[in-house]
Amino acid sequence: MRGPAIRRWGAAGAALVLSLSLTACQGETITAFDATAYVRGVLDETYKGTWDNAFLDLVDLTDGEAQDAYEASLNEEYRRFAYQFDLNDSLLTEETRQSALDLLAEVSAKAQYTVQKAVALDDTRYAVEVSVRPMDLFIQVREDALADFQTQFAEQYAGVDLDDLSAEERTNLVTEYENAWANGIVELCRSRLGLVNYRDVESILVMVAPDDDGLYTMGDNDFSNLSALILPY
């Protein structure tokens, strides 16, 4: 029986990272660790929202905890999405926010990656190569459709004079404006889901090693770099 898994969020917006204790409950040292299965499992959980019992055993999670971890990953991706497309999250309704999360769940499920066999660097450290086909959805939107959308959106509010509005009316209008922008961005992206293409395969090397507490983890920077490659903006 392995020690408890932990979750850690990267400061730069990396999805959560699952870790595994090096020490068994009986005090025996684990001398072999399936780093390939670990990396593949973390990616499948993060992007596909799928996992099997073997992965849950590897990281010592329940099914419910894995679901929580997946939802945390989606929320992390939402923060990236909101930043890249200038969504004002503080003014968005729960319905608008959920619409964006639903989109990101669909997009993330289309991620394409292959985890190669891990190479042991020493008794505890592993190098794992991940081959990725970057998805171009958000790049398509930014390069081919965003400018026209911005122009059309601005025209809808061109005749509004904020000076003619009361404070309450102004607040309501700003809220309406921000939600309309966010929903428009979501629909713009959704309209291109069927046009998703994938770029040429790129490979990235990630390190899996125990941290100071003896817990296996993928480094925050490695995971951030991997996430940016899988779903670039």
pLDDT score, position 232: 97
* 2 in a structural domain: no
* 168 in a structural domain: yes
Alpha-helical (H) ranges within the chain are 35-43, 53-59, 63-84, 94-108, 137-140, 146-156, 167-190, 220-230
* 175 in a structural domain: yes
Distance between CA 233 and CA 220 in Å, rounded? 19
* 51 in a structural domain: yes
Over the stretch 68-81, which tens digit does the pLDDT of each residue have?
999 999 999 999 99
pLDDT score, position 214: 82
* 13 in a structural domain: yes
**Model pTM greater than 0.75?**
yes
Q: List strand residue ranges (DSSP E) for 62-160, in order.
A: 112-115, 119-120, 126-133
Domain total in the chain? 1
Over the stretch 28-70, which tens digit does the pLDDT of each residue have?
333 468 999 999 999 999 999 999 999 999 988 999 999 999 9
Expressed as residue numbers, the domain containing 68 is 7-230
* 165 in a structural domain: yes
Distance, CA of 45 to chain centre:
10
Residue 6 has pLDDT above 90, yes or no: no
Over the stretch 74-131, which tens digit does the pLDDT of each residue have?
999 999 999 999 999 999 999 999 999 999 999 999 999 999 999 999 999 999 999 9
Give CA separation, 39 vs 44, 72, 186, in Å: 9, 17, 30
* CA proximity to 36, closest of 91, 107, 104, 115: 115
Over the stretch 159-207, which tens digit does the pLDDT of each residue have?
888 888 999 999 999 999 999 999 999 999 999 999 999 999 999 999 9
* 1 in a structural domain: no
Residue 23 has pLDDT above 80, yes or no: no
pLDDT score, position 220: 82
Number of Cβ atoms within 10 Å of the Cβ of 38 = 24
Q: Which residues pair with 160 in a beta bridge?
A: none
Residues with Cβ within 8 Å of 117's Cβ and at least 6 positions away in sequence, in order, are 36
